[in-house]
A and B are shown apart, each in its own frame.
Chain A
């Protein structure tokens, strides 16, 4: 039998329900795996790299063994007593450290929240608890989710990619992706504002789902850009993604932007197959578009191995009964880059205003003249470089004199790029597609430091295929489709229309089932070898 920790959440839940294993037993196995592969947790102490740090994953910021053990025992007791339990009963999971957990330290990977124990839990954490899942740890991320590599965390050592320890796990949900990839739990909850679930999922060879904006409650999750933040699972299988989404999705009166749209039975729907599903491919998602030195739009090809995997997947989908529609235009997508930039920075700036050194978290230990001096010093000490940069950029862009020129214009550009989606997905339109197949990222995982140092367009624009969905609000799923010649995971993205998570999960599931026996699936991340 495969080791417990390598099982999917669906399988783990079944074993517990059938009393073949106990929840405590599974938790112990999971914690043992963390012990084995994770190494020391990120901390705010001055970081001195030790040789053994280079061999470990460092996904976790905090392990809550006692909390988890109490929950696991409670689940075991309920099952023994024949009491009803939730769908995820006894399954251990971790959460990106932006999910507020009552009484359990929550950091957003920033010094500014040093020592903060939230007085409340996020809706998603409560729903997972009602489903009887077992929260056992909080994982590292880019500070306030500001990044795509997890390197901007204030908590060092940062997370390493379980497939290649000299490479980043992606970000900002890098801790989630690395933990799941390294079998430190079958589920981790992440957040995605511009690709922060999908990019790290692609870099670590797992499945990452970004639901439609408004499908999953944001209540109690520390925000980046409130009009684009989404919450979703990172898992090793598509079924697990469907399994978790079913438990966390739905209207929440505490989040005004959630919707009264029924939640589908995503897990059961997977069996419906993809016959007749119309899957589009867009030339605009097979190249990087950027502004050259003359200020003209120019384009660069994505990594050839990655483009090849898109076409190979298209053939497979066709074989499975889907229709492939090529040349779906998404030409306004390129405008989403500056517009997304402006809106996300303005919202981020405003969301960072509440960290003032008075109510919670870090406060300066230096002497201060007055209240403003306390702000000035506490915020200066507490925020990292990216937070400062984004805060100031947002302040610049949100000046009242620029309101029309930047903010309003960006909002209108948002409407324009959304039109591409509306037209492509229009059931009466020319293309009538159900989903679009794209690469998740223009390249596989890169090396530490490259995000800042490298001038590679593929690295600079690592989020170009994922931010449009945050801007448009539509769902997307990244799933593994193989390994590059250098042995790095490659991810593909299927994106769908509003609230059509069921369809994109079905497509990803069909792909997964059809490639179960592929050779690349037999290769494990280096830390598991």
Chain B
């Protein structure tokens, strides 16, 4: 029988903050689409004599993440220099936080797709500057320093994850949270979210952790899944072949989708950290902390719970409606205006609004339809001013025209006819125009009532109240 193994995984996630400017200089933080080396200055390119100055927005956003991760906050944190030589690091050292980082400890609770809750403990959160980009071209390497100095938060977890799936879900939920907090675009294709994974395996039941290998530069959720699975398989292969796992640093190559060992020089362990003497400590005053706390939104996992317990939504609906903050806020706004059955609002949201966002690729906040519009439409259906089908069409009409639903109903004459005499006249006409069907009905084929209602509705272009039409038809067909 083959030995079973348990994997243990810790993640170091690098999160690019969506500040206007870089961590320590006034260059634009986002260089997406810019020509190489056009968004640079003496500071981020390591010109001799240039000095850093700390971006306040970086501190604010890092602080929000600390609060969301339930971390302890260091009211005075320091920047250190991490010294190493590499082509993408123009200063010869990276300014980061080693000795005393802004956040330590904490945890992140998230749900797996099957509803299982996972708690991943956080070791620390620290602020740092990003390195530049390099790309190979033949036997040379091209260096672009646009990304040098972009603010990052590095969040280091404890080894609490046990499968590639858990690691991938952690990243998915983290991405959701970062966007929810508005501190990162968290777009993995643009490398706003990157991670290094420490992977080890141990025989099932063993209490000792195996030697870990670090996989660097994983830049998509799919890659996380693949790279970790490959690495687990590789380690199992090694052990089964009687080899020992060595503590390697491995690089994930996204182009070839393969793992490769990094040269020992690139992984030299001694970074000779010491305090960056050019920067003052980052002091967080009580007032500053309070102002950030006041800016903190309800977090998705909390809101999901509230949607279930207080608003009476099924767990599936609650998950879908808290996938992003826009959708969630929109939904709540509709509920507040509508002031009725929340599940009914949820159905309209999921069936109609999310259908449109899926079709158009727009975010909910970018739609023309407002919470007020949707609440009005549901109301009109409830009050039988329009029928459900019209209501659904109306959602699309509002979205395409930007006009208010009431106006569209008037303009297009979509309102239900509730005038008895008009419906009765039409019903009488339909019954007398279709003697064969009327006879069948009377001979017991009562299911034909639906066909009669349909005829009336078609003739009246959907404006008749179908309930009323049905009642009149029943009466007419019985009378003869």
- From B51, B85, B271, A375 is in contact (CB under 8 Å) with B85
- Tell me if B272 and A398 are in contact (CB < 8 A): yes
Answer yes or no: B48 CB below 8 A from chain A CBs. Answer: yes
Q: Tell me, yes or no, whether A356 is within 8 Å of chain B by CB.
A: yes
In the bound complex, how far is the Cα of B278 from the Cα of A350, in angstroms?
A: 12
Residue A167 lies at the interface, judged by CB distance under 8 Å to chain B: no
**Which one, A98, A253, A256, contacts B278 given CB within 8 A?**
A256
Nearest-CB distance from A446 to chain B (Å)?
A: 30
Separation of A400 and B270 alpha carbons in the complex (Å): 6
**Interface: B205 (CB within 8 A):** no
Q: Check B279 for interface membership: any CB of A closer than 8 A.
A: yes
Q: Cβ of B351 < 8 Å from any Cβ of A?
A: no
A226 / chain B contacts, CB cutoff of 8 Å: 277-278
B47 near A120 (CB under 8 angstroms)? yes
- B107: interface (CB < 8 Å): no
Contacts A353-B85, A353-B91, A354-B46 hold; do A257 and B272 have CB atoms under 8 A apart? Answer: no
The reply to whether A395 and B48 contact each other, CB–CB distance below 8 Å, is: no
Among A120, A354, A372, A375, contact of B90 (Cβ-Cβ < 8 Å) = A354
In the bound complex, residues from chain B placing their C-beta under 8 Å from that of A346 are: 272, 274
9-residue interface stretch from A177-185, A216-224, A436-444: A216-224
B194 at interface by CB-CB < 8 Å? no
User: Would A353 and B93 be within 8 Å (CB), given that A119-B47, A120-B42, A220-B49 are in contact?
Assistant: yes
User: B92 on the interface (CB 8 Å rule)?
Assistant: yes
Mark each residue of chain A from 4 to 44: 1 if its CB lies under 8 Å from any CB of chain B, else 0: 00000000000000000000000000000000000000000
Query: Across the interface, do A100 and B48 meet the contact criterion of CB distance under 8 Å?
Result: yes
Q: Are B49 and A400 in contact (CB under 8 A)?
A: no
Decide if A356 touches B92 in the complex (CB within 8 Å). Answer: yes
Cα A98 to Cα B274 in complex, Å, equals 24
Question: What 0/1 pattern do residues 190 to 216 of B give for CB contact below 8 A with A?
Answer: 000000000000000000000000000
Q: Could you say which of A253, A354, A375, A403 contacts B48, with CB atoms under 8 Å apart?
A: A354
A221 touching B280, Cβ below 8 Å: no
Chain A, residues 241-273, CB within 8 Å of chain B (1/0): the string is 000000000000111110000000000000000
Q: A350-B83, A350-B274, A398-B274 given as contacts; is B53 within 8 A of A254 (CB)?
A: yes
Tell me, yes or no, whether B87 is within 8 Å of chain A by CB: yes
CB <8 Å contact, A400 and B273: yes
314-342 of chain B: CB within 8 A of chain A: none
Closest Cβ of chain A to B204, distance in Å, is 36
CB distance from B58 to the nearest CB of A (A): 14
The answer, yes or no, to whether A430 is at the interface (CB within 8 Å) is: no
For residue A113, CB closer than 8 A to chain B, the reply is yes
CB of A403 to closest CB in B, whole Å: 7
| Chain A residues positioned under 8 Å from B45 (CB to CB) | 359
Which A187-230 residues have C-beta < 8 A from chain B?
A: 218-223, 225-227
Report if A461 contacts B (CB, 8 A). Answer: no
Within 8 Å by CB of A356, from B49, B51, B85, B274, lies B85
Does B46 lie within 8 Å of A100, measured CB to CB? no
B143 at the interface (CB under 8 A from A): yes
Q: Which residues in A have their C-beta under 8 angstroms from that of B90?
A: 354, 359
Smallest Cβ-Cβ distance to B42: which chain A residue: A120
> Contacts A100-B49, A119-B47, A400-B271 known; A353 to B83 CB distance under 8 Å?
yes
B54 contacts partner chain A, Cβ-Cβ < 8 Å? yes
- Are A256 and B53 in contact, with the CB atoms below 8 A? yes
Neighbouring B residues of A219 by C-beta, 8 Å: 49-51
User: How many chain B residues have a CB neighbour from A under 8 Å?
Assistant: 31
The CA-CA distance from A358 to B46 in the complex, in Å, is: 11
Contacts of B93 in A (CB 8 A): 350, 353
CB interface residues, B 249-272, toward A, < 8 Å:
265, 270-272
Instruction: Specify which chain A residues have a CB less than 8 angstroms from the CB of B279 in the assembled complex.
Output: 256-257
A149 lies within 8 A of chain B by Cβ: no
Question: Could you tell me if B270 and A222 are in contact, using CB atoms closer than 8 angstroms?
Answer: no
Contacts of B52 in A (CB 8 A): 256
Hey, which chain B residues are within 8 Å of A375, CB to CB? 85
A342-384 vs B, Cβ < 8 Å mask (1 yes, 0 no): 0000110110111110111000000000011001000000000
User: Judging by beta carbons under 8 Å apart, are A220 and B50 in contact?
Assistant: yes
B273 and A403 contact, CB distance less than 8 A = yes
B126 within 8 A of partner (CB): no
| Cβ–Cβ contact B265 & A108, under 8 A | no
Judged by a CB distance under 8 angstroms, whether A86 is at the interface is: no
Chain A residues with CB under 8 A of B270: 399-400
Contact A371 B87 (CB under 8 A): yes
How far is B48's CA from A359's CA once the two chains are assembled, in angstroms? 11
- The reply on A407 being an interface residue by CB < 8 A is yes
Q: Tell me if B280 and A256 are in contact (CB < 8 A).
A: yes
A119 and B42 contact, Cβ closer than 8 Å, known pairs A255-B51, A354-B91, A359-B90: yes
Q: Specify which chain B residues have a CB less than 8 angstroms from the CB of A372 in the assembled complex.
A: 85, 265
What B residues does A329 contact at CB under 8 A?
A: none
Query: A372 → chain B, closest Cβ, in Å?
Result: 6
Known: A256-B278, A400-B271. A350 touches B92 (CB 8 A): yes
Task: With CB as the reference atom, state the residue of chain B lying closest to A375.
Answer: B85
Cβ of B81 and Cβ of A221 under 8 Å apart? no
Question: Measured between alpha carbons, how far is A359 from B144 in the docked complex, in Å?
Answer: 11
Query: Contacting A222 at CB < 8 Å: which of B49, B91, B273?
Result: B49
Q: Who on chain A is nearest to B43 by CB?
A: A254
How distant is the Cα of A151 from the Cα of B467 in the complex, in angstroms? 104
B63-102: which have CB < 8 Å to A? Answer: 81, 83, 85, 87, 90-93
Does B237 lie at the interface of the complex (its beta carbon under 8 Å from any beta carbon of A)?
A: no
In the bound assembly, the distance between CA atoms of A371 and B142 in angstroms comes to: 11
Write out the residue numbers on chain B whose beta carbons fall within 8 Å of the beta carbon of A99: 49
Cβ-defined contact, A113 with B272, below 8 A: no
Complex Cα distance, B87 from A355, in Å, reads 11
Are B48 and A108 in touch, CB under 8 angstroms?
Answer: yes
CB distance from B95 to the nearest CB of A (A): 11
Most chain B CB within a 10 A radius of its CB, from A221, A225, A359, A360: A359
- Complex Cα spacing A94 to B73, Å: 48
- Tell me if A172 counts as interface (CB < 8 A to partner B): no
With a cutoff of 8 Å between Cβ atoms, the chain A residues found around residue B141 in the complex are 371
- A239 lies within 8 A of chain B by Cβ: no
Q: Contact check, A254 vs B51: say whether CB atoms are below 8 A apart.
A: yes
Does the CB pair B280–A257 fall under 8 Å? yes
Interface string of B276-296 (1 = CB under 8 A from A): 011110000000000000000
How many angstroms from the CA of A120 to the CA of B25 in the assembled complex?
14
User: Is there an interface contact between B49 and A122, defined as CB atoms closer than 8 Å?
Assistant: yes
Which residues from B are CB-within-8-Å of A100?
A: 47-49
**Separation of A273 and B428 alpha carbons in the complex (Å):** 117
Q: With the chains together, A225 CA to B50 CA distance in Å?
A: 14
Q: How far is the CA of A509 from the CA of B52 in the complex (A)?
A: 37
| Among B90, B141, B274, residue most surrounded by chain A Cβ atoms (within 10 Å) | B274
Q: How far is the CB of B87 from chain A (nearest CB, A)?
A: 6
Q: Does the CB pair A256–B48 fall under 8 Å?
A: no
Q: Could you list 5 further interchain pairs (A-B, Cβ under 8 angstroms) beyond the known A346-B272, A350-B93, A358-B87? A: A106-B48, A118-B47, A349-B272, A398-B274, A403-B273
Q: Which 3 residue pairs spanning A and B have beta carbons closest together?
A: A353-B92, A227-B277, A354-B92
| CB<8 Å pairs between A and B, sample of 19 | A108-B48, A119-B47, A218-B51, A222-B48, A225-B277, A226-B278, A254-B51, A254-B53, A256-B52, A256-B278, A257-B277, A349-B272, A350-B81, A350-B274, A353-B83, A353-B91, A371-B141, A375-B85, A400-B270
Binding site for B on A (CB under 8 A): 98-100, 106, 108, 113, 116, 118-120, 122, 218-223, 225-227, 253-257, 346-347, 349-350, 352-356, 358-360, 371-372, 375, 395, 398-400, 403, 407
